[in-house]
Structure 1
Amino acid sequence: MNPNELIIRFETVDRQAEGPVTRLVGFVRARNLLPLLDGADLEANPRTAKVGPITADIVESIEKTPELFPFKTKGILVASANCRELERRRYHMTFENSDIEGILDGGHNTLAIGTHILSAAHGDPKAIKKIKTWPDFKAAWTASSGEIAALKSANPSGNGGPLDFLVPVEILVPSNAEDPIALEAFTSSLFEICAARNNNRQLADEAKANKKGLYDELRKHVPAHIAKRVEWKSNDGGDIKVRDLVAFSWVPLSAVELPSGVSAPRPADIYSGKGKCSTAFDALMEHPDVSTRTSDGTHELHNGTIASALTIAGKFPELIDLIYNEFPQSYNRTGGSFGLLRAVTTAKDLRTKPVTPYGKNAAAYRYPDGFIIPLIYGLKALLETDANGKLRWKDEPTLFLVHHLDEIVRKYKVLIQAFGGDAQKIGKNEGSYSLAYDAFETELLKRRQAA
């Protein structure tokens, strides 16, 4: 939340307590939600809201039946570990940990209410036409502070104006903020409450894992210019899917000893079973031998071996780009005609020019990733654990690919021809991965014998 404190006034409010959590539940008039809209950042919500059919339906309900709106929606769920009751049904809240405090559920309601108010403040529905995501809304909201203040001044409470509709609001606060044990029990419960509320909206597994902090170590090692484009939480606008990074992380992870009860997915799952890769990754990162659950429900990594594998996984986007760019050239240099394979299109035949998957660098061809995912898995042959159990490269991978990819592709090309250039069959076939791994291992052995 920014600012990190605000006051909300209820029209009606009830207090309900059970265990470490107290719930303040009631109706808040839209004009009294303006401070929340000023500060809301949705960091505590597992996913970012975006404009779409859901928000359109909410806005239509506000405009056509404002008197029924508070009964048509679940409203907004807010959590604050520090809440003080004032007179006249007002509550002063401060937010110290944005990961678990703030808006836990109701992000789309908040976005719809905000865009409705912006439209009324400007007197023109076109004023919100360019708003597609939560960051778009926040930028427009901040830029319209004068218009919003004028709207509030011109429409006093009780006149049935655009700020008079009611919104159901729940605020979760500690039952006993003075007791450290009770306060810790409250904060640790917030993640479970948030996840359970969002389960009703089919929250993606990746969004839950991100909320738990399971991707924090991987995110740390992915190059910054790539990490900022990853959709770490649902609807936050990234063009790179986090499950792709998680799937590729199993190449180094499968090269280390995993804790009891955790198994690496099959190599072919990196191509055709990314959901299985995500599930296995979550099980690994939540294992007590790998991470420790903190009081706020997130997980802190303490396993040095797994940390070393994720450090190496952070380099894979750049290695994948290198293979994507060089594979067609190696294929051609070893006697093949890459441009004649099915599903392959050359740059000159495309209006939108092809680029590499992660760095978005210019490429000569556009083609399915089923052709090269077995080669990406083959990089596992270049990995080993040291005396301390930490994963490391046997040979610098970029230079290795520069010097040996042609010979690896010479062997691998036989497989492509055997499957008639069908990338999907290649990607799903377990034998593709064994062949690629063996080709890497053979070239590594030849390199060491020549040294």
Structure 2
Amino acid sequence: MNDTAGVRNFRNHLFDICESRNNNVELQLSAKVHQNGYFNELELMMREHNENIADRIEWKTNDGGAVKVQDLIALSWIPLQLVNPVREAKDPKKIFNPSEFKETYMYSSKGQCLKLFERLMSSPDVSEKSAGDYTKDIINEEVKSSFKITTILPELYDYIYARFADLYNGNDGSFGRIGAVKKLNNKTKNKKTPFGGEPIKSDVNISPDGFILPLFYGLQALLEKKKVNGKTIIDWVTDPKIFLDKHLSNIMGEYKGLFALCDYDPQKVGKAEQCYKNALNSFKMALMQDKIAR
């Protein structure tokens, strides 16, 4: 213990040792990501932006929390998908392109979202070992700016979640008559927003995630890369909340037409790549209208 260099070396390799020790009983990937410190900066940013939501997230496996960290990581790929290709940790000659992420993973494979997150964070272009510790610090400005974007996404998700039924009905729809919606609302007594846990009126029909996530993915259209003080970052083109207030009703008018093609089944909607692409295009068109109007 008096050998400072030896202790530091041990800490740097501690988690690799744990992985070898547990080759038959693997640690959950979320535990590994937490152990490496890949959630640290995101958690810090989230606490600075919204302490309530940060407290509701289970950052560490089995610590308890109304929101699984995987749900937040799934949303984080909306900005992270725009990050430049990076070197692989195990083989720096190989390149990982974050655009390999498939938008349907947000609904159909939260585990794959986390797996790709770990792969991105472990890149030597993204993180480096902390001084005197076995965790890693994020050094990539595009990733850091993506985390900043991510801190806002839970609030925007809750915003759409609480209004989805009204937006659908306002476009000549009857949301409450959809079988999956009836089933969800019949078994949900205390209706609350998923991330913030804010109460929703009992007479408002809440929506399955499969209906919301493809629409929510459209927010990526509001992001851009730009140079700030010589560094490339990812940032909002326009205020997302103001944009949603102005355009979401019209976007819903186009988006709801996809439901019939998917038999009004949220699982089919959530797994249909075309639903994500259509939503993204609708957001782009609305953004273009704003630019022309200026």
Task: Detail structure 1 runs of 4+ shifted over 6 Å in the superposition.
Answer: none
How many angstroms apart in 1 are the aligned matches of 2:57 and 2:23?
22
**CA contact 2:19–2:26 (8 Å) conserved in 1:** no
- For the pair 1:356 / 2:196, whether they are aligned, the reply is no
2:84 aligns with 257
| Structure 2 residue 270 is the aligned partner of structure 1 residue 427 | yes
Q: Is the 8 A contact 1:308 1:392 kept in 2?
A: yes
Contact 1:221 1:314 in 2 (8 A): yes
Alignment of 1:27-46 (within 5 A): none
Q: 2:142: which partner in 1?
A: 305
Stretches of structure 2 that go unaligned for 5 or more consecutive residues are 88-94
Distance verdict in 2 for CA 1:365–1:221, change over 3 Å? farther
What is the rounded CA distance, in whole Å, between the counterparts of 1:411 and 1:424 in structure 2? Answer: 19
1:374 to 211, 214, 223: 214
Does residue 186 of structure 2 align to residue 343 of structure 1? Answer: no
User: 2: CA distance between counterparts of 1:230 and 1:200?
Assistant: 29
Q: Could you say which residue in structure 1 is the equivalent of 2:233?
A: 390
Deviation at 1:232, TM superposition (A): 1.5
C-alpha distance in 2 between matches for 1:345 and 1:247: 26
Q: Percent identity?
A: 39
Alignment coverage as a number of residue pairs: 275
Matched, 1:234 2:65: no
Q: Secondary structure at the match of 2:137?
A: strand
Task: State the distance in 2 between where 1:355 and 1:274 align.
Answer: 22
Q: Which moved more, 1:191-200 or 1:250-259?
A: 191-200
1:204 aligned partner, one-letter code: Q
**2:23, 2:60 → 1: CA distance?**
14
**SS of 2:38 mapped into structure 1:** coil
Residue identity opposite 1:355 in structure 2: K
- Confirm or deny: 8 A CA contact 2:221 2:280 kept in the other structure: yes
Shift of 1:349: 5.2
Gaps of 5+ in 1: 1-173
Q: Does 1:439 align with 2:282?
A: yes
Amino acid at match of 1:437: L
Give the Cα separation in 1 of the matches to 2:68 and 2:188.
24
C-alpha separation between the residues in 1 aligned to 2:292 and 2:34?
44
Name the SS of the counterpart of 1:372 in structure 2. helix
Partner of 2:92: none
For 1:379, the aligned partner's letter is L
Distance 1:263 1:275, change over 3 A: farther
Structure number with the higher strand fraction is 1
Q: Which structure is richer in relative contact order (CA contacts within 8 A, separation 6 or more)?
A: 2
CA deviation string 1:178-203 (max 9, x = no partner): x3322322332333334444555432
Q: Which amino acid aligns with 1:450?
A: A
Are 1:262 and 1:280, in contact at CA under 8 Å, matched by a contact in 2? no
* Aligned residue in 1 for 2:74: 247
C-alpha change, 1:349 and 1:282, in structure 2 (3 Å) is: closer
**Displacement after TM superposition at 1:439 (Å):** 0.5
Aligned partner letter, 1:440:
F
Q: Which residue of 2 aligns with 1:293?
A: 129
Q: Is it true that 1:318 corresponds to 2:148 in the alignment?
A: no
- TM-score if structure 1 supplies the norm length? 0.58
Give the distance between the partners of 1:322 and 1:314, measured in 2 at CA: 14
Q: Distance in 1 between matches of 2:151 and 2:134?
A: 25
Structure that is richer in helix per residue? 2
Give the Å deviation of 1:347.
9.7
The one-letter amino acid of 1:421's match is: Y
Is 1:215 aligned with 2:39? yes
Which one has the largest radius of gyration?
1
Letter in 1 for 2:238: D
Letter in 2 for 1:414: G
